[in-house]
């Protein structure tokens, strides 16, 4: 076979392949791209509606946020001959507050000589606490019932937005100052970890409501969000809603927790799988300093009656690479619900559900249907 004949055949194959690809892309764009032109503040891509239907649902899952209406607990306590530092109860803001709240906790042992220390719990608080302790010179062992992929932290949408952390009428100025400090420290830490390794990227986010937003958009951390704007109907593609636009970090919890686990082990940290049935078993650990990062487990282990589970429900769909923005609100949430759509590289997430005091693990079929139906309706205006 001549070289000319070989090249010609390859050229024909490439041309046929390109034609099929162009036809496929063109068809997809025709069906999914939003036709009216609205400027994008951050992304250079055109608007695309996510592909949402009950037929596309992979699974629905339930998670329980460790919620304290009077706010998270970071506190040093002396029990027998042990020093216990509590770091739990962050509600829906645990992933967002991980580094900052853990920094507050580690600050409680700043005057001690580093030695062996125990961290109980391997979710985001346990891992952040362990890594900060290692940086401070401590030799750390994590004691945990579950590895990271089975923790509550791994069942999260992952947008950096400290929310559902407390009830406004049950906290004081001192707590709000701690919350502000923890949020800002954590935000700073995450900006140092952006990229594929830790699963963190910047993303446009649109908070949707039926009434106009105030100047701060309801957030005390508004100065941390670039590209902010209050948009009216007709200035965005989300129908007749008012929108609060911002750009923030999206965190893939599975990827982040996996990498932090690897960092912890590379730095010499040890894991011990152990389930504690009561406080006496925790106090029997050989380490004199113990960090309690058990989340909901603290209710039984340390008798915290203020700590309650807040049930959440997420719906998983296949990833949709064309969608590069998140939405919150914009539909009927029901008694305990709200809406959010979060595109990740591994999955398209739909939510949500926030039901304090409900510790049940059953997926509620009617909530799955509501979440899918209302999220899909939100994008009807895309045509």
pLDDT at 270 over 60: yes
Q: Where are the alpha helices (DSSP H) in the chain?
A: 3-32, 94-107, 124-135, 173-191, 253-266, 279-283, 298-301, 365-378
Q: What is the pLDDT of residue 260?
A: 96
- pLDDT digit string (tens) for 8-45? 333 322 333 333 333 333 333 334 555 556 888 899 88
User: In 3D, which of 201, 297, 204 has the Cα closest to residue 256?
Assistant: 201
Mean pLDDT for the stretch of residues 55-64: 93
CA distances to 126, 168, 178, 219 from 71, rounded to whole Å, are: 18, 9, 10, 16
Q: What is the pLDDT of residue 46?
A: 87
- Cα(379)–Cα(238) distance, rounded to whole angstroms? 7
Q: What is the pLDDT of residue 216?
A: 53
Q: What is the pLDDT of residue 34?
A: 54
Residue 220: which pLDDT band, with cuts at 50, 70 and 90?
confident
pLDDT at 366 over 80: yes
Judge whether 351 and 371 are in contact, CB under 8 Å: yes
Q: Which residue has the higher pLDDT, 1 or 6?
A: 1
Give every CB contact of residue 56 below 8 A, 6+ residues apart in sequence: 317, 318
Q: Which residues of 364-376 are buried (b: 16+ CB within 10 A; e: fewer)?
A: beebbebbbebbb
Percent of the chain with pLDDT over 90: 73
- pLDDT digit string (tens) for 118-159? 999 999 999 999 999 999 999 999 999 877 665 665 667 789
- Cα(238)–Cα(374) distance, rounded to whole angstroms? 13
Q: What is the pLDDT of residue 158?
A: 86
- pLDDT digit string (tens) for 321-342? 999 999 999 877 666 667 999 9
Residue 233: which pLDDT band, with cuts at 50, 70 and 90?
very high
Q: What is the pLDDT of residue 8?
A: 35
Domains of the chain and CATH, by start: 42-68+200-249+308-383 (3.30.9.10), 69-198+252-306 (3.40.50.720)
Could you give the 3-state DSSP secondary structure of residue 140?
strand
The DSSP line for 226-272 is SS-EEE-TTSSSSTT-EEEEEEEEEE-HHHHHHHHHHHHHHTT-EEE
Q: Which two tokens stand for residue 356?
A: 């304090």
Residue 222: which pLDDT band, with cuts at 50, 70 and 90?
confident
Q: Which residues of 203-223 are buried (b: 16+ CB within 10 A; e: fewer)?
A: bbbbbbeeeebeeebebebee
- pLDDT digit string (tens) for 173-194? 999 999 999 999 999 999 999 9
How high is the mean pLDDT of the chain? 87
Percent of the chain with pLDDT over 70: 85
- pLDDT digit string (tens) for 92-122? 899 999 999 999 999 999 999 999 999 999 9
SS3 content of the chain, % helix, strand, coil (to 5): 35, 25, 40
Give every CB contact of residue 194 below 8 A, 6+ residues apart in sequence: 200, 201, 202, 249
């Amino acid at each position: 076979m001549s070289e000319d004949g070989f090249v010609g055949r390859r050229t024909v194959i490439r041309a046929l392949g390109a034609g099929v690809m162009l036809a496929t892309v063109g068809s997809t764009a025709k069906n999914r791209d939003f036709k009216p032109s609205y400027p994008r503040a951050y992304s250079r891509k055109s608007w695309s509606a996510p592909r949402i239907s009950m037929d596309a649902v992979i699974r629905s899952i339930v998670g329980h946020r460790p919620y304290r209406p009077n706010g998270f607990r970071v506190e040093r306590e002396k029990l027998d001959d042990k020093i216990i530092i509590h770091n739990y109860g962050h509600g829906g803001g645990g992933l967002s507050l991980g580094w900052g709240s853990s920094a507050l906790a580690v600050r409680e042992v700043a005057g001690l000589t580093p030695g062996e220390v125990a961290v109980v719990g391997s979710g985001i608080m346990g891992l952040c606490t362990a890594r900060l302790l290692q940086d401070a010179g401590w030799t750390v062992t994590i004691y945990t019932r579950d590895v990271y992929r089975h923790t509550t932290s791994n069942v999260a949408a992952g947008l950096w937005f400290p929310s559902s952390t407390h009830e406004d009428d049950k906290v004081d100025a001192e707590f709000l100052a701690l919350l502000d400090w923890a949020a800002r420290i954590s935000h700073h830490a995450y900006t140092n970890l952006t990229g594929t390794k830790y699963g963190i990227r910047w993303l446009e986010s649109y908070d949707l409501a039926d009434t106009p937003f105030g100047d701060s958009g309801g957030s005390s951390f508004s100065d941390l969000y670039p590209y902010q704007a209050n948009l009216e109907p007709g200035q965005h593609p989300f129908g007749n809603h008012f929108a609060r636009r911002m750009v923030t970090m999206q965190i893939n919890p599975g990827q982040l927790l996996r990498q932090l686990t690897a960092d912890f082990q590379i730095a010499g940290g040890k894991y011990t799988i152990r389930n504690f049935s009561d406080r006496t078993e925790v106090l029997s650990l050989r380490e004199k300093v113990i960090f309690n990062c058990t989340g909901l487990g603290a209710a039984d282990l340390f008798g915290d009656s203020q700590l309650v589970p807040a049930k959440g429900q997420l719906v998983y769909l296949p990833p949709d690479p064309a969608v590069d923005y998140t939405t919150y609100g914009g539909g009927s949430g029901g008694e305990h619900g709200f809406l959010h759509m979060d595109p990740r590289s591994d999955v398209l997430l739909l939510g949500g559900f926030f039901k304090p005091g409900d510790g049940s693990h059953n997926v509620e079929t009617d909530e799955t249907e509501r979440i899918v139906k209302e999220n899909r309706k939100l994008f009807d205006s895309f045509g």
